[in-house]
Amino acid sequence: MFVPARCANAIRAYQLVTDRGLCLDYYNVLSVSVDATDEEIRIAYKRAAMQWHPDRHRESIDKNEAEIKFKEIQQAYNTLSNQILRDRYDRLQCNHGTHQSPREQEREDEEFDSWRERYYPRGGNVKWKTTITLDVALNGGKISYTRKEVRICPDCDGVGTYLVGCKHCGSTSRSGRSYCRFCNGFGQTHQYCKKCDGDGLVYETITNQINIPKGVVDGSVLVVKKLGKQSKYFESGGVNGDLEIKITIKSKDGFKFTGMDVTGSLKVPYSLALLGGSTEIDLPTGKKALVNIQPRTNSGKKIRLSGMGLVNNLGESGDLILSVLIVLPKSKRRLTDEQIKTILDLEA
Ligand SMILES: [Zn+2]
Ligand SMILES: [Zn+2]
């Protein structure tokens, strides 16, 4: 790797050389722009330190890589978070990206975007079934959806450790004539965060209120953006998947809902079943339906009233399907011989 002369000076002057023997571009290490504010640098450092904390990379090859990266990140932060060191670093022009033309910059940005999509894929979609009342289906409403999400630990800002003064050297960085070997001369050591056990992450239970629009019918699927599985790369900007809600409508007053159709039974007095006529029933939707009964209608006969079912959000309506149930009179009055004869005659 070619190291520019000025960078080579910088390496000697500030010991910027890493275990890889490269001149470190501190802005690149923290993925910030050269004009990043102190706050942007602080946030970038926490993210990077969390991502590369050696304890999070347990495989030996990964661990070595992580240890080097972690050290680089700390070096970069130590310099960029101190205005005097940062100014001196900037004067040495050790950042390689400052002489790019706008076109080059644009191309690099595009490459970065496609790289990010490839490396930080969004989370998967989640399918969820839920039952709502007819009232919510007809008038719209809200339902609650609870899920767990990983968050960056608020106590340690995701780093997993706190920096505390080194006990061995009393934060002086030195032990006798040499550097303190317990803190590698930093004067501070890391202590595991109690809230997240050094993981840098905590699980949070989140309840979202989801709007159910008017005109939802049984079997509708609502898609809510970004409430699905969390991207594995959420810390780096990976987006959550979507939540797909399959809606079922709860039965009401003996009526069931299937798609846009409403099914139920229709109690018909035996005289009406025999002689025919019409009857009015109250529907669970609050409407009334006038039903024509043909003479000699049997129990179990299905009567379909087109357009009397639920109405979806496109204005299309389903059917009302009624199953006839013949009801005998409750009266215990004795029948006269003549009445019995008439009934028996009908059977013939
Ligand atoms: Zn923590
Ligand atoms: Zn020490």
pLDDT tens for each residue of 182-234:
888 888 888 888 999 988 889 999 999 999 998 899 999 999 988 999 988 88
Residue 213 in contact with residue 140, Cβ under 8 Å? yes
Ligand 2 centroid to residue 90 C-alpha, Å:
29
Task: Compute, in angstroms, the gap from residue 154 CA to the centroid of ligand 1.
Answer: 6
Pairing mode, if any, of strands 174-175 and 126-132?
unpaired
d(CA 163, ligand 2 centre) in Å: 12
Q: Which CATH number fits domain 256-347: 1.10.3210.10, 2.60.40.1260, 3.40.640.10, 2.60.260.20?
A: 2.60.260.20
CA of 164 to the centre of ligand 2 (A): 10
Q: What pLDDT is attached to residue 90?
A: 76
Domain boundaries, the chain: 5-99, 256-347
- Contact between residue 132 and residue 250 where contact means Cβ atoms under 8 Å apart: yes
Q: Choose which CATH entry (3.40.50.300, 3.90.340.10, 1.10.287.110, 3.40.50.620) describes domain 5-99.
A: 1.10.287.110
The pair of structure tokens assigned to 24 is 């470190």
Q: How far is the CA of 18 from the centre of ligand 2 (A)?
A: 21
- Phi (first) and psi of residue 343, to 5 degrees: -65, -45
Low-confidence stretches of the chain (pLDDT < 50) are 1-22, 94-99
Q: Where are the alpha helices (DSSP H) in 156-275?
A: 270-275
Taking the centre of ligand 2 as the mean of its atom positions, its distance from the CA of residue 74, in whole angstroms, is: 16
> Per the structure block, which two tokens stand in for 213?
């629009």
**Beta strands in the chain, from DSSP E residues, in sequence order:** 126-132, 141-152, 161-165, 174-175, 178-179, 188-192, 201-212, 221-224, 243-249, 256-258, 261-269, 277-282, 288-293, 302-305, 320-327
Distance, in Å, from the CA atom of 257 to the CA atom of 137, rounded to the nearest integer, reads 11
Cβ–Cβ < 8 Å for 47, 156: no
Q: Quick one: pLDDT at residue 95?
A: 42
Residue 108: predicted pLDDT: 63
Q: Which residue has the tokens 């989801």?
A: 210
**Cβ–Cβ contacts within 10 Å for residue 128, how many?**
16
Q: How far is the CA of 178 from the centre of ligand 2 (A)?
A: 11
Distance 191 CA to ligand 2 centre (A): 13
DSSP 230: P
Q: State the distance from the centre of ligand 2 to the C-alpha of 142, rounded, in angstroms.
A: 57
Q: How far apart are the CA of 100 and the centre of ligand 1, in A?
A: 39
Cα-to-centroid distance, 190 and ligand 2 (Å): 11
pLDDT of residue 3: 34
Q: From ligand 2's centre to the CA of 189, what distance in Å?
A: 7
Give residue 18 CA to ligand 1 midpoint distance, Å.
28
CA pair distance 293, 275, nearest whole angstrom? 9
Ion ligand 1 neighbours, Cβ < 5 Å: 153, 155-156, 193, 195-196
* pLDDT value for 60: 65
Q: What is the pLDDT of residue 183?
A: 83
Q: What's the pLDDT score for residue 6?
A: 35
pLDDT of residue 117: 57
